[in-house]
Amino acid sequence: MHFCDLCNSFLTSKQHLVDTRELSPSSFRDYHNTCSRLVEVFGRSRLVDDLAAGDFETLRRSLSSTRGPVALGNEIQRVRSVFKYGYEAGVVDTPIRFGPGFKKPNRRMIRQARHANGPRMFEAGELRTIIDSAPQPLRAMTLLGINAGFGQSDIGSLSVAALDLDGGYVNHPRPKTVMPRRCPLWSETVGAIREVLECGQHPRDDADRDIAFLTTQGRRWSRVTASGSPVDCLGHEFAKLLRRLGLKREKVSFYALRHTTETIGGEAKDQVALDHIMGHVRGDMASVYRERISDDRLKAVTDTVHAWLFGDVE
């Protein structure tokens, strides 16, 4: 079998999972990009049976020249998935020998890279400056980021129906894990969101009529196009604000708000409640049996982050 035929079969299988909503469009895009790189390196007419350990060593060197340890590990895993699919689907007769060198970077390398990049979080003074300087709706979205640990995809998919502004809560499953989440909202966050919603929005697509935050063009602030390409207007505008304030540094972006919430929220000493707010998935049996978490426990976490950020101001 030619290598390009294997890639086409693999992507067709993944597209079926997208159609049934078992795989996200962004994950499909990653697989598609991986297959494109493989075809570029190995050639469209290369036979799968001709690939040897040396080919994968060459591929790894090429990948490592433009990727950090985490991104390299993710790409190696996707490459392995392509060939694993081929063997399990019966389109490749024998398992592929990748050789001893085609492995993910070890944990030590990953820790070293993270240490070299510095902490991926904001300090309280930095965040207060960002919040005070951010125009709407960026200010409301930033408050949601630190209050509820929301990332760009959370903001992009957040519906008005998920917001209980009178009660001061947001109930919004994390798009990546589809884990239920409930988070108490600070008065600052509620006020900023109300301000945005009262201005009115004009969705470009009927499907976005209930989306809480839309750009001036009526689009979601973070979305994936029909072709699987990501559009991150939120990340772009947040980065512009950081540069203007002199706070832009390597590996620190809007997503660093989640890192900050996780780090500071942990000081409440209730990891179960923090995991629920963050939408993290735990594989232990306690998580399987646990049916709910009290609002008091959730509020203890958000109160801890609030006190760190604003001091005694309520």
pLDDT tens for 194-246 read 999 998 888 988 889 999 999 999 999 998 777 667 889 999 999 999 999 99
> How many domains does the chain contain in total?
2
Please identify, among 116, 135, 151, the residue that sits at the C-terminal boundary of a domain.
116
Q: Which residue, 3, 23, 26, is CA-closest to 13?
A: 23
Task: Give CA–CA dist 56/88, Å, rounded.
Answer: 20
Burial of 155 (0-12, 13-18, 19+ CB in 10 A): buried
Residue 145, domain extent? 124-310
Looking at 99-113, 180-194, 270-284, which range is the least confident one? 99-113
158/244 same-domain check: yes
Looking at 68-77, 109-118, 199-208, which range is the least confident one? 109-118
46/130 same-domain check: no
How confident is residue 314, by pLDDT bands cut at 50, 70 and 90?
very low
pLDDT mean over 113-134: 86
- At residue 313, the pLDDT reads 47
- Provide the CATH number for the domain around residue 8: 1.10.150
How confident is residue 255, by pLDDT bands cut at 50, 70 and 90?
very high
- Provide the CATH number for the domain around residue 199: 1.10.443.10
152/293 same-domain check: yes
112/147 same-domain check: no
213/273 same-domain check: yes
204/98 same-domain check: no
Task: Give CA–CA dist 267/262, Å, rounded.
Answer: 9
146/215 same-domain check: yes
Please identify, among 97, 116, 135, the residue that sits at the C-terminal boundary of a domain.
116
- At residue 288, the pLDDT reads 65
Rg (CA), the chain: 22
133/261 same-domain check: yes
272/203 same-domain check: yes
92/134 same-domain check: no
pLDDT mean over 104-110: 81
35/154 same-domain check: no
First-to-last alpha carbon distance for the chain, in angstroms, is 66
Find out whether 213 and 155 touch, Cβ atoms under 8 Å.
yes
262/160 same-domain check: yes
| The pLDDT of residue 100 is above 80 | yes
Please identify, among 116, 143, 176, the residue that sits at the C-terminal boundary of a domain.
116
Collapsing DSSP to helix, strand or coil, 14 comes out as helix
